[in-house]
Homo-oligomer: A and B are copies of this chain.
């Protein structure tokens, strides 16, 4: 168990006292001595006790020394010590005696769990300081003690008195009753007519705003653009999914310039805006339960408004869904423009009564993971006014990098056969309303045909279509500050998406922070070992409430979770750092050798085809395929059917820990027996070890909540797997051998002729420990990613003309 808190503020003692008073822990005057002050704080924190006997009973439950409970300790009038204070503190923080700490040395436990503590509690002032520190310290359940008290009801008596947000340690507190939230719907008029009905598209927006906004309070806004929010078409999406068991074929060689694949400027002819018939402050439509984004729930009791919109082509909105298109971005930013007072919305789709976001303070942050985070990224790249910051998790930065790689169709993990059209079909939720769908179906069917053509599964090449769906083209417009979160094991939205974005914004005059975790496609706000929620509270209190809390300097620019030590998060000066050391290897028979060592010419080859029965088995059990791909030990289950279908090269055992940073680069000199072909690569950590799970383990169901009597979340953590595993994939990459120049030009490929092929694998940050071996695995068909033709292809490599280049970062100081 290890606590990592980056979002805690250190402030002056007088400021601490002032804040303790503002949340009613003191009336401003401290008690005479340490014991009475401590007891008084404890009374305030013992929320279940409404009488002295009950309070005394709760003190009896707490151990003060190895042989006395706290009631006895107070009764004996012994002097308070740090040992007593922190023995009690550990229990208040929900750590368990005997299990999580030893009762005879609480300070050792505080240090081991990485919990901050003071050195002296000899008087009331020092106790107040220690108490302040305790309130900002994480419990065993990964929330601050004050947040724990909050969900136990600490602030519920504040609700009726709330007139403005309340801050503590730089973070806004839950003094707004979430059950009094106002739910209303408006329809934003977007500068679009994507369904070609001659009227601008109206977009349904669900607003949740504090009741206090009815009384002159202006709320900042968390806005989540989620195409999934109004429902999805799972069976339609499934029916649209492409067969991936199709052969790779030769592409006609062609010279293509960057200009040829540069998207044209978006310049639609638009219908006029609607004529406003009247203006209203009152909406016509409400909704019961939104489909919430978890982190927003935490902030709903803290004075934020939360706004959800699904955009064009979704239930109750106009328009047509075209995933990744400029129109989708405009549909996303139209809502921000309304929230910032720069665009019109209506109370319904019929009578032209307009309505302003009169309750908004015009400062907006976008939140969301995956497609939701992608739309936040898209919005940021427009530089739209009012968007102060985005917090995007596992976001796509270019749709080509989601569905394609190196001139190949390359599916996100576990979504083989999915493509732009499938996703568009999935989120086209206007289909759910049969009355609405009746009219829009013919037009949407045309759009689906166009998408199917333009996404071009036949070549996998980058094109104008993909270029118009590449947000990286517009990063120069970004004005919002950027918080990015991504999993280094996210093989759905692969790390390249955030890697390229980070590189592109590194020198922009904005604030940018990145957190890289060891998960796959998940969110981290309920994790025990990192105070993500606190950090975001600090950040949003600063960005949206304008609180002067130094968040920009306190939050590290780069936080990366270690993949060897559980619950360890380090800060770094950069990711994909220009100051890294380059390390280059040359391929030899089964080995990676340092490139400074001279090597003799050697060759190796592998085939791609499999026995049809084995091919079917692997299709149905991709884990088995992946295991056989990487398994170099003697196969326990008989033959390893991948033995002749890949080459594995391993380094010597490492003599010290390495921190591989950024994109590994592979150069191979390769020939194939046909006039087409592809290569896949995996960078692998070989070495027996108990590794972290990439799917979080639920530690405690329903244990977290942002407020009293409110929605809950499950405490989670990556934990060490119970058994050792012999390897772990670090990164991967794919290339069509006809895309040697780039991903749009098609090069010729002559059978049995050798070509140099160079590519960058997905960027990473990987702690490869001493004693392990770095491995490079070269193969062709990737069952999880590429099309699977099971063709009679053979590949040969000239090993000494083939190289791997990685970059090594320095270990973190922290």
Contact = CB atoms under 8 A, between A and B. Distances in A.
A410 to B, nearest CB: 25
Contacts of A435: 59-64, 69-71
B438 A288 contact: no
A708 B54 contact: no
A56 interface: yes
A284 interface: yes
A423 to B, nearest CB: 18
Contact of A49 (B96, B235, B285): B285
A284 B61 contact: no
Contact of A637 (B56, B289, B437, B638): B638
Which of A56, A57, A67, A351 is most buried by chain B, counting CB atoms within 10 A of its CB? A57
Contacts of A349: 53, 57
A285 B315 CA distance: 48
Interface in A231-268: 235-236
A103 interface: yes
A283 interface: yes
A673 B277 CA distance: 97
A48 B287 contact: yes
Nearest to A46: B285
A50 interface: yes
A358 B185 CA distance: 45
Contacts of A99: 235-236
A298 to B, nearest CB: 16
A192 to B, nearest CB: 19
B436 A60 contact: yes
A14 interface: no
A179 interface: yes
Interface string A102-117: 0100000000000000
A67 B287 contact: no
Given A48-B287, A435-B63, A438-B63, A54 B348 contact: yes
A548 interface: no
Interface in A433-454: 433-438
Interface string A50-85: 110110110111111001011100000000000000
A103 B434 contact: yes
Contacts of A789: none
A54 B285 contact: yes
A709 interface: yes
A201 interface: no
Given A179-B709, A348-B53, A350-B56, A288 B151 contact: yes
Given A285-B51, A289-B709, A61 B316 contact: yes
A325 B518 CA distance: 47
Interface string A310-350: 00000110000000000000000000000000000001111
B434 A97 contact: yes
Contacts of A98: 434
A721 B1 CA distance: 38
A288 B455 CA distance: 54
Contacts of A283: 50
Contact of A67 (B62, B285, B436, B438): B438
A285 B71 CA distance: 18
Contacts of A47: 286, 288
Given A57-B348, A284-B54, A287-B48, A96 B432 contact: yes
Nearest to A617: B636
A63 B433 CA distance: 8
Nearest to A103: B434
Contacts of A348: 51, 53-54, 57
A99 B434 CA distance: 11
A152 interface: yes
Contacts of A63: 434-435, 438
Interface string A712-747: 000000000001000000000000000000000000
A637 to B, nearest CB: 5
Contacts of A185: 48
A153 interface: yes
* Minimum-distance CB pairs A-B, first 10: A69-B435, A63-B434, A61-B433, A51-B284, A97-B434, A53-B350, A152-B288, A53-B348, A637-B637, A63-B435
10 contacts: A51-B347, A53-B349, A54-B348, A61-B316, A91-B433, A91-B434, A97-B437, A103-B434, A288-B708, A289-B709
Given A48-B185, A50-B285, A54-B285, 7 more contacts: A51-B347, A57-B349, A62-B433, A69-B438, A97-B434, A288-B708, A637-B637
